[in-house]
Structure 1
Amino acid sequence: MKKISLILGLILGLGINASIAQINNAKTVTVAVNGNCGMCKKTIETNGSEGKIAKVTWDTKQKQAEITFDTTKTSEEAVLKKIAQAGYDNVQFRAPDDVYANLHECCRYDRNHEVKGGPHAQMNHNNMPKAAAQHEDAGQAKGLAPVFQNYLTLKDALVSSDQKKAAIAAEKLGQSILKVDMKALADNEHKQWMKVKGSMEKASTAISKDGKLEGQRNTFMALSNHMYELAKTSKSSEGLYWQYCPMANNNKGAHWLSNEEAIKNPYYGSKMMSCGEVKEKI
């Protein structure tokens, strides 16, 4: 029996190691995650793991999860949020009370502890006072506000055909992208952020280092498309206009976001300032 257990343990260990080896740009952290039993282990690992993006292994004795994840596609916070949404309090997030209540009786662990994120790490608003819920919504809206503001500053610099100002604005945009607190983002907002974050970083860096206005404008096209994708899920984008110039990009057309309805073309500036139309108000 000991030999059989040893062999099974070895096979399981090799399987876990092989799964982790498939994860690129890997980072591994060990964090506290509440739970009680083998059923908890299965739920925590299943909900936290995601193909070649993240692998979670939970220790039933230590009440700790080892998380290995691709830093370009997800984050420690994102994985822990999924685990909390499945009903398990952890070092970053407290699970929704209704989800915890629906856990199997043997899985209802002792909740007498304080989550690192504090009261605003609670995953839903059901049991939250109205003022607290509004405060959390404000926090979510604020999460990406600096990114949108710096994007608009960059757009205005391109409208003015000022290459140096555009470079400075792009650099500030890149800095604001790096400073985003993903714990402050709503679920849909967070998912979209993880999809576009890398491309937006590259675009802002490229614009900040480009010494030619034409090159900056070309890169701004792709950046604007990513910003639009993000805007569709973010409260920080309310009041923006999705605008379009059919003559930009060698008559293939190009879009941009603006905080005013009047057309001020970032691809032509004063040469064709009013060329374009509003396609959508967000």
Structure 2
Amino acid sequence: MKKQVRKLVSLSLVAGSLIMVSCGDSKKENAEAEAVSHTEMEHEMHEEKEEVATAVDAEFSDAKVKQAFTQYISLKDALVGTDAAAAKEAAKQLEGTLSENNAEISKIAGNIATTEDVNKQREMFSKLTAKLEPVFKGAISSGKIYKQFCPMAFEGKGDSWYSTSEEIRNPYFGDKMLKCGRVEETIM
């Protein structure tokens, strides 16, 4: 009887040890997988920034509009990366570009440049996008840009932005919902 109890206790200890070790490995594997996933996402976002910086496929009939579009894309990318400081800088540049011909739009960009709260920047970016739509559409002479839409932005009201790529990079949610959205229109 004592032998059976010892054997049962020994087997229980071995089984318990195996479970603890395997659970510990599982937690470690999960943490490693999350770290790899986060690193891959950062790398993907970095590649997207480099791609945008080097390749704006669209041409505009007005040099100032082209400059404004490039700065707008920099602002969008900063919001995708949830980088309030970079968004401030891009908005400040956009404000300067638009100051002569588009005072109302320039003011919105200036408001983005004065806040460090990325959520407020995103709200103002929405207004900026709406005001820039006729400017971009009216000046594109060749190539294409993409109007994209996220139905979940702003508590389910949804909102749009412009991109140089069909691939979705959501400025309203950043890495929380990086690929949430769809191409709503291709502007040529």
TM-score tier (shorter)? 0.5 to 0.7
TM-fit CA distance, 1:228: 1.4
Alpha carbons of structure 1 residues 259 and 225: separation in structure 2 relative to 1, 3 Å: same
Given that residues 146 and 185 in structure 2 are in contact (C-alpha distance below 8 angstroms), is that contact kept between their aligned partners in structure 1? Answer: yes
Instruction: Provide, for residues 133-177 of structure 1, a one-character-per-residue CA deviation record: whole Å limited to 9, x for no partner.
Output: xxxxx8934241101110000000000000000000000001111
Which residue of the partner structure matches residue 10 of structure 2?
Answer: none
Which residue of the partner structure matches residue 227 of structure 1?
Answer: 132
TM-fit CA distance, 1:231: 1.6
Alpha carbons of structure 1 residues 144 and 160: separation in structure 2 relative to 1, 3 Å: same
Given that residues 60 and 66 in structure 2 are in contact (C-alpha distance below 8 angstroms), is that contact kept between their aligned partners in structure 1? Answer: no
Which amino acid counterpart does residue 76 of structure 2 have in structure 1?
A: K
Alpha carbons of structure 1 residues 179 and 202: separation in structure 2 relative to 1, 3 Å: closer
Residue of structure 1 aligned with 2:120, choices 211, 215, 224: 215
TM-score scaled by length of structure 1: 0.43
TM-fit CA distance, 1:238: 4.1
Given that residues 241 and 258 in structure 1 are in contact (C-alpha distance below 8 angstroms), is that contact kept between their aligned partners in structure 2? Answer: yes
TM-score scaled by length of structure 2: 0.64
Which residue of the partner structure matches residue 182 of structure 2?
Answer: 277
Residue of structure 1 aligned with 2:74, choices 139, 150, 153: 153
Which amino acid counterpart does residue 276 of structure 1 have in structure 2?
A: G
Alpha carbons of structure 1 residues 256 and 149: separation in structure 2 relative to 1, 3 Å: same
Structure 1 gaps of 5+ residues are: 1-137, 181-196
Alpha carbons of structure 1 residues 168 and 268: separation in structure 2 relative to 1, 3 Å: same
- Matches of 2:98 and 2:167, distance apart in 1: 27
- Matches of 1:139 and 1:268, distance apart in 2: 29
Other structure's SS at 1:144 match: helix
RMSD in angstroms over aligned alpha carbons?
A: 1.9
Which amino acid counterpart does residue 154 of structure 1 have in structure 2?
A: L
Structure 2 gaps of 5+ residues are: 1-58
- Matches of 1:255 and 1:177, distance apart in 2: 21
Other structure's SS at 1:165 match: helix
Alpha carbons of structure 1 residues 201 and 214: separation in structure 2 relative to 1, 3 Å: same
Alpha carbons of structure 1 residues 178 and 238: separation in structure 2 relative to 1, 3 Å: farther
Given that residues 65 and 136 in structure 2 are in contact (C-alpha distance below 8 angstroms), is that contact kept between their aligned partners in structure 1? Answer: no
- Matches of 1:170 and 1:206, distance apart in 2: 8
Other structure's SS at 2:147 match: strand
Work out which of the two has the higher radius of gyration on C-alpha atoms and give 1 or 2: 2
1:253 correspondence with 2:158? yes
- Matches of 2:176 and 2:80, distance apart in 1: 10
Identical columns (%): 35
Alpha carbons of structure 1 residues 152 and 228: separation in structure 2 relative to 1, 3 Å: same
How many residue pairs end up in the alignment? 129
RCO comparison, higher one (Cα < 8 Å, 6+): 2
Which residue of the partner structure matches residue 263 of structure 1?
Answer: 168
Given that residues 168 and 180 in structure 2 are in contact (C-alpha distance below 8 angstroms), is that contact kept between their aligned partners in structure 1? Answer: yes
